[in-house]
């Protein structure tokens, strides 16, 4: 297993289990599951999580600064084979740095706003584990240091795990001993299929028995995302430009003060690419020791805390979009971001995003409203892909690239698609489609069929008028 190398300094690569790696062949095992790289056929029934960890700051013997250290682990794994044990040690050694990515210079505090954020660890085979974190001050009198509750899971479902962290936090205020039975019950429960609910029974001293319902969203492609933060930080035009840069697999850096904003905005930016999967370097919050990532010549999508702005801007970078989420501005750009997408389709996205956006109330409504126009963009540009996969007798498909983009009537659409088919986003998607005898049943395919039906009805109406 490996993690991100310091660019141009491969001998000093940091031996993480992985946080960001270009594993092109393996990173997207199924086009319809952009956020579930390690559970490619995941429908439900798996474990909710692999570990619950508490990461605390411990003073180093040599100096005044602190080192993040795992001080609690559930479950403790026993009787592991040697290879499994080494893998576990590598994974656990990587986690503390991502729970405290903002360096080691801390001082005891009396007040600290809690933060909820997540990070992604990538294995060399492309499988990903997600760390869901809640950073807060432990209960007690006087100044103290924050600690992090971190849940490690293969499942991408930010909203659901935020609710689980709420329950962990509620119990942490009483005693660590109260957290254990809750997490044990959660570990024994089967993770629900999309749209289903699992109910846990949990006892809390002085409160009695509680029933906790955890519901998984019906649309699994939106369950690891909250677009609200992105909408609060940026204009619709800026969001479309970020999407355009990501579609051409450029380098994107997001800057913000707090970990929650960074984490949510970068997950949202990646989710705009559905049904395609970002397979390059992807670090929602870059730890201080990995800031050299921004010098990489390969595509990346990373989040950096505002305190490291000077280090970032002084780094040698090319073709980068540097997004200041605090001010809602682009600090650096290539300059052509408004011209990447076909003009008419770009206008369609902006019109659809702007309609009724102020009437949305729930996060589910916001997610569906924001995601829809971008899915529709891909339906209109590449939704005809299945018709251009020629199959041999054994079922193996071969994509007819030239005929595929020539089938588009619009010159602007053709120009865009000729570039897009060269990206790893599209290549990984089409490789899976070539292997599959039938188009994958999922949200994207559903939208393709709806669009084709609309076109048929429009043609029929036009014939009737004539």
CATH number of domain containing 339: 3.40.50.11500
State the total domains in the chain: 3
Residue 253: domain span? 227-349
Residue after which a domain boundary falls, among 171, 194, 217: 194
- Judge contact between 323 and 241, C-beta under 8 A: no
Predicted confidence band of residue 44 (pLDDT cuts 50, 70, 90): very low
Tell me whether residue 2 is in a domain: no
pLDDT of residue 441: 67
- The Cβ-side half-sphere exposure at 100, using a 13 Å CA radius, reads 22
Identify the weakest region by mean pLDDT among 189-193, 267-271, 304-308.
189-193
pLDDT of residue 37: 32
Q: Which helix (H) or strand (E) holds 163?
A: helix 158-172
Q: What's the CA gap between 66 and 89, in Å, rounded?
A: 21
Same domain assignment for residues 168 and 233: no
For 259-270, what is the mean pLDDT? 93
| Alpha-carbon distances, residue 203 vs 6, 161, 212, 453 (angstroms) | 47, 20, 11, 53
- Judge contact between 242 and 322, C-beta under 8 A: no
Same domain assignment for residues 150 and 275: no
For 294-318, what is the mean pLDDT? 90
For 377-385, what is the mean pLDDT? 96
DSSP string, 325-338: TTTTEEEE--S-GG
| Alpha-carbon distances, residue 243 vs 230, 251, 352, 382, 429 (angstroms) | 12, 12, 15, 16, 18
Predicted confidence band of residue 455 (pLDDT cuts 50, 70, 90): confident
Same domain assignment for residues 344 and 376: no
Q: Report the relative pairing of strands 329-332 and 320-324 from DSSP bridges.
A: antiparallel
pLDDT of residue 309: 93
DSSP 79: S
For 260-279, what is the mean pLDDT? 93
**CATH classification of the domain holding 117:** 3.30.450.200
Same domain assignment for residues 110 and 158: yes
pLDDT of residue 256: 96
- Judge contact between 332 and 251, C-beta under 8 A: no
Tell me whether residue 267 is in a domain: yes
Tell me whether residue 357 is in a domain: no
- Judge contact between 32 and 41, C-beta under 8 A: no
Residue after which a domain boundary falls, among 296, 316, 349: 349
Same domain assignment for residues 81 and 189: yes
Same domain assignment for residues 189 and 57: yes
Identify the weakest region by mean pLDDT among 128-137, 194-203, 330-339, 346-355.
194-203
Peptide bond into 353 cis (omega under 30): no
pTM of the model as a whole = 0.82
Mean pLDDT over the full length of the chain: 83
Indicate if the pLDDT at residue 412 is higher than 80. yes
Same domain assignment for residues 449 and 401: yes
Indicate if the pLDDT at residue 98 is higher than 60. yes
Predicted confidence band of residue 124 (pLDDT cuts 50, 70, 90): low
Tell me whether residue 43 is in a domain: no
Tell me whether residue 271 is in a domain: yes
Return phi, psi of residue 282, to 5°. Answer: -145, 105
Tell me whether residue 7 is in a domain: no
Tell me whether residue 202 is in a domain: no
Same domain assignment for residues 238 and 184: no
pLDDT of residue 440: 67
For 76-97, what is the mean pLDDT? 81
Residue after which a domain boundary falls, among 349, 379, 412: 349
Indicate if the pLDDT at residue 380 is higher than 90. yes
- Encoded tokens for 299: 């595509």
Tell me whether residue 363 is in a domain: no
Predicted confidence band of residue 78 (pLDDT cuts 50, 70, 90): confident
Same domain assignment for residues 68 and 175: yes
Predicted confidence band of residue 10 (pLDDT cuts 50, 70, 90): very low
- Encoded tokens for 180: 């254990």
Q: What's the CA gap between 157 and 227, in Å, rounded?
A: 14
Identify the weakest region by mean pLDDT among 169-173, 201-205, 234-238, 287-291.
201-205
- The Cβ-side half-sphere exposure at 209, using a 13 Å CA radius, reads 4
Identify the weakest region by mean pLDDT among 212-216, 250-254, 460-464.
460-464
Indicate if the pLDDT at residue 13 is higher than 90. no
For 345-370, what is the mean pLDDT? 91
pLDDT of residue 12: 27
Same domain assignment for residues 145 and 180: yes
Same domain assignment for residues 166 and 77: yes
Please name the residues in contact with 386: beta carbons below 8 A apart, sequence gap of 6 or more. 433, 439
- The segment with the largest mean pLDDT, out of 5-9, 146-150, 171-175, is 146-150
Q: What's the CA gap between 181 and 175, in Å, rounded?
A: 12
Same domain assignment for residues 375 and 307: no
- Please calculate the CA angle 395-276-404 and round it to the nearest 5 degrees: 55
For 296-312, what is the mean pLDDT? 92
| Alpha-carbon distances, residue 161 vs 52, 166, 357, 404, 421 (angstroms) | 12, 9, 26, 41, 35
């Amino acid at each position: 297993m490996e993690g991100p190398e310091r660019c141009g300094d491969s001998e000093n690569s940091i031996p993480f289990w992985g946080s960001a790696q270009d594993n092109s062949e393996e990173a997207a095992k199924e086009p319809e599951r952009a956020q579930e790289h390690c559970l490619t056929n995941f429908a439900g029934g798996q474990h909710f999580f692999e570990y619950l960890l508490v990461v605390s700051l411990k003073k180093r013997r040599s100096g005044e600064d602190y080192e993040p250290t795992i001080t609690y682990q559930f479950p403790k794994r026993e009787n592991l084979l040697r290879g499994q044990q080494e893998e576990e040690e590598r994974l656990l050694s990587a986690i503390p740095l991502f729970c405290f990515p903002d360096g080691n210079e801390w001082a005891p505090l009396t007040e600290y706003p809690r933060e909820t954020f997540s990070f992604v660890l990538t294995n060399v085979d492309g499988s990903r584990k997600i760390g869901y974190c809640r950073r807060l001050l432990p209960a007690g009198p006087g100044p103290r240091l924050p600690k992090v509750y971190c849940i490690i899971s293969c499942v991408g479902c930010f909203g659901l795990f935020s609710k689980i962290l709420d329950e962990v936090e509620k119990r942490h205020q009483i005693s660590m001993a109260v957290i254990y039975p809750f997490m044990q019950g959660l570990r024994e429960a089967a993770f629900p299929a999309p749209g289903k609910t699992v109910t846990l029974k949990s006892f809390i001293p002085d409160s009695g028995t509680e029933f906790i319902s955890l519901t998984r969203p019906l649309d699994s492609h939106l369950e690891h995302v909250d677009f609200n933060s992105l909408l609060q930080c940026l204009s619709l035009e800026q969001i479309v430009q970020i999407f355009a840069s990501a579609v051409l697999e450029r380098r994107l850096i997001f800057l913000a003060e707090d970990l929650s904003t960074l984490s949510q905005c970068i997950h949202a930016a990646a989710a705009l690419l559905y049904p395609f999967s970002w397979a390059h370097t992807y670090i929602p919050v870059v730890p201080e020791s990995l800031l050299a990532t921004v010098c990489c010549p390969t595509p990346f999508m990373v989040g950096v805390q505002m305190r490291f702005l000077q280090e970032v801007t002084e780094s040698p970078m090319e073709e980068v979009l540097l997004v200041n989420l605090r001010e809602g501005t682009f600090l650096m750009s290539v300059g052509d971001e408004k011209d990447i997408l076909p003009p008419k389709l770009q206008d369609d996205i902006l019109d659809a995003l702007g309609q009724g956006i102020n009437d949305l109330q729930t996060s589910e409504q916001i997610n569906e409203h924001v995601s829809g126009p971008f899915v529709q963009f891909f339906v209109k540009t590449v939704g005809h892909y299945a018709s251009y996969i020629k199959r041999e007798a054994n079922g193996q498909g071969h994509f007819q690239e030239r005929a595929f983009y020539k089938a588009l009537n619009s010159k602007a659409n053709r120009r865009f698609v000729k570039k897009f088919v060269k990206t790893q986003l599209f290549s990984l998607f089409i490789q899976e489609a070539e292997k599959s005898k039938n188009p994958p049943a999922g949200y994207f395919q559903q939208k393709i069929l709806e669009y084709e039906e609309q076109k048929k009805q429009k043609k029929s109406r036009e014939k009737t008028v004539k």
